[in-house]
Every structure is written in C-alpha cells, then in structure tokens.
Amino acid sequence: MLGAHQRKAAVNLLFVVHWVLTFCFLISAFVVAGTANAGFNVVLTGLMYVAFGVASFLAINRYQSSTLLGSLIGVSGTLTLLSLQTAIFWGQLSNCSRPPRGTIVEHYTCENTSAMQSVCAFAALLFLLQLVITLALFSWRDELAHGMLMYSQVNAGGYGDASMPPPESGPDYAPYGGSSGYGGGGGGGSYQGGVPQQDV
C-alpha cells in the first residue's frame, strides 16, 4: 500500500506526463487549426488541457481543499470523454479524400492528414491518461486533500505538537522520592518509569 506522500508523488508524475502529451497535442492542434469547421475546436481543446494541468498542480500541491479536489475530479472525467471524442473525430477525419484538382468545395478541407493522425494519436493517449488520473484522484481523494495536513502535525516521536517535549523532559517530572508534585517526599503517589501509579 502506498502512503500519502507516495500517492501524491504518483499523481504529480501523472501530471508531468500529462503536460508532455498536452504540449505535443497543442503543437498538432495549431498545425490543423486551419481545418474547416474543426480547427478552432481542437485548439480550444488543447487550451483546456493546459488549464487543467495548471489547476491540477495548484489543487494538489498548494490549495489542498476537498471542494477543489472534487471539482478537479469532475473536470478530469469530462476531459476523459472529450479526449475520446477528439480521438475518434480526428481519426475519421484523417481518412478524408481530397477533391479533384481545380475543384473548390466550400467549408471542406483535407490537408495535413498526417497532422490529423497526430492529433488522433495524442488524443487517444490523453484519453487513457485522463482515465488513470480520474481514477487516482477519486480513489485517493482523502489522502490528497487532507493527508499532508495530518502528517505535518505529527512529528517523529508521535506527539501532536513538535514543540511539546515528552513528559520525561518536563519541569514537573522527578523520579520517585524527588521534589516533584507527582510523588515528591514519598507522598500518596509515585512516578516510576514516567507513569504515575497509586500506592496501595
């Protein structure tokens, strides 16, 4: 089982891969931006990937909020479906046929088919990655939203406040027979091994 820190590192690694694929997708999207009736949509999709990457990094590493993380899960699920739709659309569009030379067809272009295939390929990879990210965010939502806060409040000694010394080093501690209020002067209580005990 992965701890809270390992899960956060795994999610950040997924985001790094997402940024790399988003950069490649965005380059291909700008190449096919002149495609009739579809160029603007694919560029907008690429910008949505960029916005998701920035928002997800801030949500996981800076603003640890359960509300923000829940919104991030919803957006990630929506982008998963959008990636699948984009991959199918541009995969089919890459099989277009160019009109005969000298023939002009309005609102129809069939150029840069290799770039269309590139958009399809990166959209398919982003679909798989978005699916993994969505499942990871949903499965580890409690640790990602609150795990770092809980772990920061616990020091290596197991005490809630790192500045609070253990009882053995406190000013009121003294061994049996000392001058402490726990059992000084052979009073009604004793303090053996740092644990108060009642005399019988």
Alpha-carbon gap, residue 83 to 44, rounded angstroms: 12
- Write the CA distances from 117 to 28, 94, 111, 165, integer angstroms: 9, 6, 11, 64
More reliable by pLDDT, 109 or 49: 49
Q: pLDDT for 168-183, tens place per residue?
A: 555 554 554 555 444 4
Alpha-carbon gap, residue 109 to 181, rounded angstroms: 90
Alpha-carbon gap, residue 193 to 200, rounded angstroms: 18
Residues with Cβ within 8 Å of 117's Cβ and at least 6 positions away in sequence, in order, are 90, 91, 94
Residue linked to tokens 């958009």:
119
Look at residue 152 and tell me whether its pLDDT is greater than 60.
no
Look at residue 162 and tell me whether its pLDDT is greater than 50.
no
**Which residues in 48-71 are b (16+ Cβ under 10 Å) and which e?**
ebeebbebbbebbeeebeeebbee
Closest CA to 66 of 137, 133, 1: 137
**H helix runs in 32-112, sequence order:** 39-61, 66-93
The H or E element containing residue 190 is strand 189-192
Q: pLDDT for 66-115, tens place per residue?
A: 778 888 899 999 999 999 999 999 999 888 777 666 666 666 677 788 88
